[in-house]
Amino acid sequence: MSHPTSLWRRVALASAVLLLAAVATAAPRTVLRLHLDGAVSEAPSDDGQLMAALFGGKVQNFHGLIEKIGKAAKDPEVAGIMMIIEAPQLGFAQTQELHRTLREFRKSGKPVHAYLESATNIPYLLACAADHITIADHGDVWVAGLHAEQSFYKGMFEKIGVVADMMHCGDFKTALEPFTRSTPSAENQEMTNWLLDSLYEQMVRMIAEGRGIAVADAKAAIDTAPQPAEEAVRLKLVDAVDSYAGFQTMIEKHYGADLRIIKKYPAEDSLDLDLSNPFAMLQKLSELMEPKEERSGAGIALIYVEGAIMTGRSSEGGFGGAMVGSSTVRHALESALADDKIKAVVLRIDSPGGSALASDIMWTAATRLARAKPLIVSQGNVAASGGYYASIAADTIFAEPTTITGSIGVVGGKLVWKDLWESHIGITTHEYDRGRRAGMMSLNRAWNDEERGAIRKLLDDVYVQFKDRVTTSRGKRIKGDLEALAGGRVYTGAQALEIGLVDRLGGLRDAINLAAEKAGIKGDPIVRVLPKKPEPMEMLLRLFGEEGKDEWDFIRPGSASVSLHGGRTARDELTQMIEGVVGARAPAALRSKLAGLRDLITLHTEGVSCVMPLYLTFR
C-alpha cells in the first residue's frame, strides 16, 4: 500500500501536468478591433450595408456599435478592445455616449487601446475613453475648441432679386434669420453663446477626466493647439508616439503574440460579399433571401425618428440627409401598441424638426401608446423643435449633456422669386386665380395684408398648440413659466435637465434598460426595430406588382408587427439605397446647406414649420 505522502505527491504532479497541458492548449486571447471611420447611421440599414459592401466602404449602425461593446464587456472570451480612430461621422451627443460606453467597458477589467494618425475634436474625445492612446509619428493633436458658423443669404437674395417673406413665433425662434438678415440678431447670438458655453464645458470635462489631468490643463491644451505628437505626450494628451507597426507590437506584448483579433462581433451580424467568387456571392444572396428568425418572447420596440420631419413616408438617404415621415412613425407606434409581444417602446430621436403637422401626428400616436405601455425617449445629437415635439409624450426623456433640444416655437414664410425670373433670367409669368386666397403661396409675390394676417393666425395657433402639448405631456415637470423657456430657445441636454424639458441624462442603452425595467423584463431585453424591413422575397415580389402592407392598413389589437413597403418599386428602393450611401459621404458643410433648402421646401408645402433655429457643425 502506498504511503499517503507519496500518493499526494502523485496527485499534485498529475494536476501540475494537466494544468501545463491546459495552458499549452489554451485558446489565444481575443481582442475586439473597432475601426471608427466614415458614416454612422442611427437606424440600422440593410440597404446601406449591402450597397457599401458592393461599392466599397461601410455604414456602421450606432445602436449596433453600442450593443457590440456592451456584449463584449460580458463575454469572457473577449480580453479587450483596440480602436483605430480615423474620421467617424458622429455628432457630439453620439460621441459622448460612445465615450461613456467605452469607459464602462473598462470597468469590466478589460483595457482599451486607441490608435490615431491625427486627432481633431471627435476622434480625440473618443480616444480619451481609452486606457492608452498612441498617435502616429509626426501626427498632431488638433483639438482647438468649438467653432460654429452661421451663413446669411439676404445679401445674395438682394443681388439675384429674391425676397424672403418670413414670420416667426418666439423671439428666439431664429430659424429663418439667414434669409431675412445679414447678421444674427441679439437673441440668436445670446442663444448660440449659451449653447457653446455648455458644450465647451462638456468637452473640457471629457478630456480632463479621460486623461486624468486638471481642467485648467485641458483648457490650456485647447488654447495652444495644435500640438505635435511629442508635445502631446509631454502634456499627457497621448501616451505614446509610434507607427502602426509599433502599436501592433505593443498590443502583442500586452496580450501575447498569439492573440486573436476579431473585427466582426457578434459573427452573425456581419455581411461579407466576396465579389471575386460568384458562387460565394450567390450563396450570400441566397442566405439574404431566407426570412430572418427573431428571438421569441416579450420584448421592446425601438422606433427611430431620424432626420427632418415630413408628412408621408420616411426616406433613409439623399444629399440633404434622412427624412422621417409621420405616416411611417405613426404606423410603427400603432403596431407596437397592438402587438402583445411588445411590452414597452423606446423612441430614439435625432431630428432638428420640420413639419408642424407631422410632429403633431407623431405626438398623437405616441400619447395614445403611452397610455397603455411604457414609452421612453432617447434623444440623440438633436431633438429640437419638431424633434422635441415628438419627445414629450414619453414617460421619461433621456438626453446626453450635449444633446441639442428644446426650441419650442414656430416659423412660416416663403421666398419670392419674381424679380430673379424676370429681371435676371427673362422668364415672365402670368397667373390665374379662382378664390381670393388661391395664390397665397405663389412664389411670384409677397403676401398682402389679409394673407399675412391669415398666416400669422395659423402660426399663433400652432404655437399655442405646441405649448399646450408640452403642458399636457410634461405638466409640473416644467420648472418655471413655460413661455420664458419657450419662444424658440434651444438648450443642451444638461441645461434642459435643469429646467425640466428632459428627465434624465443618459443614452440609448439607458433608455432601453429603463423600458425593460418598467415592463418587468429581466435580463437582456429583446429589442425589435419597427417598422420591420421587408424581407428580400417581398422586395422581389414588387417587381411583379405584388401589393404589400403599407402605412394605411388597419391594425387590430393583438396583431403582430409587419414589414412595410407601401407599394414602392424596386427602382425606388435602389435609388434610395444609393442616395443613402452617397449622401452619407457628402461633406458635412454641403449637407447642412441642403438641409436649409429642405426646410424651405417644408415651408412652401405647409406654410408652417417647427424647425430648430440653427445648424451647428463641430469639427
Peptide bond into 226 cis (omega under 30): yes
Instruction: Of 381-395, 453-467, 488-502, 536-550, give the lowest mean pLDDT range.
Output: 536-550
Tell whether 308 and 262 lie within a shared domain: no
Tell whether 602 and 529 lie within a shared domain: yes
Residue 211 falls inside a structural domain: yes
Tell whether 254 and 318 lie within a shared domain: no
368 pLDDT higher than 80: yes
Q: Which residue has the higher pLDDT, 144 or 323?
A: 144
Mean pLDDT computed over 215-226: 96
Helix (H, G, I), strand (E, B) or coil at 242: coil
- Between CA 458 and CA 589 the distance in angstroms is 33
C-alpha cell, 504: 434624465
CATH number at residue 108: 3.90.226.10
Residues 6+ apart with CB under 8 A from 157: 163, 164, 179, 415
Q: Where is 303: in which H helix or E strand?
A: strand 299-306
- The pLDDT score that the predictor gives to residue 581 is 46
Residue 619 falls inside a structural domain: no
- Could you read off the pLDDT of 397-456 as tens digits, one per residue? 999 999 999 999 999 888 898 898 888 889 888 888 888 998 998 889 999 999 999 999
pLDDT band at residue 555 under the 50/70/90 scheme:
confident
Residue 244 falls inside a structural domain: yes
Tell whether 421 and 539 lie within a shared domain: yes
Residue 175 falls inside a structural domain: no
Residue 18 falls inside a structural domain: no
Tell whether 498 and 391 lie within a shared domain: yes
Tell whether 370 and 465 lie within a shared domain: yes
- On the CB side of 145, CA atoms within 13 Å amount to 14
Which of 269, 287, 321 corresponds to the end of one domain? Answer: 269
Tell whether 265 and 304 lie within a shared domain: no
Q: Which residue has the higher pLDDT, 548 or 421?
A: 421
Residue 513 falls inside a structural domain: yes
Query: pTM surpassing 0.75?
Result: yes
Instruction: Of 75-79, 295-299, 384-388, 601-605, give the lowest mean pLDDT range.
Output: 601-605
Q: Which residue has the higher pLDDT, 365 or 58?
A: 365
Tell whether 456 and 308 lie within a shared domain: yes
Tell whether 363 and 471 lie within a shared domain: yes
- The pLDDT score that the predictor gives to residue 6 is 57
Phi, psi of 57 (to 5 degrees): 85, -170
- Between CA 37 and CA 42 the distance in angstroms is 15
Residue 60 falls inside a structural domain: yes
Contact between 416 and 165 (Cβ < 8 Å):
yes
Instruction: Of 126-135, 137-146, 587-596, 603-612, give the lowest mean pLDDT range.
Output: 587-596
Tell whether 76 and 221 lie within a shared domain: yes
Which residue(s) pair with 89 in the sheet? Answer: 39
Provide the terminal-to-terminal Cα distance of the chain, rounded to the nearest Å. 80
CA distances from 302 to 332, 336, 429 (A): 9, 9, 49
- Could you read off the pLDDT of 446-477 as tens digits, one per residue? 999 999 999 999 999 999 999 999 999 998 99
Tell whether 337 and 225 lie within a shared domain: no
Contact between 411 and 167 (Cβ < 8 Å):
yes
Radius of gyration of the chain (CA): 27
Count how many domains the chain has: 2
Tell whether 224 and 337 lie within a shared domain: no
Instruction: Of 63-72, 334-343, 571-580, give the lowest mean pLDDT range.
Output: 571-580
Residue 284 falls inside a structural domain: no
Q: What percent of the chain has pLDDT over 90?
A: 57
- Could you read off the pLDDT of 285-316 as tens digits, one per residue? 555 555 555 666 789 999 999 989 998 888 76
Instruction: Of 123-127, 415-419, 486-490, give the lowest mean pLDDT range.
Output: 415-419
Domain that residue 589 falls in: 299-425+441-611
Helices (H), 385-492: 386-389, 418-419, 449-474, 482-485
Which of 163, 147, 158, 154 lies closest to 184 in space, CA to CA?
154
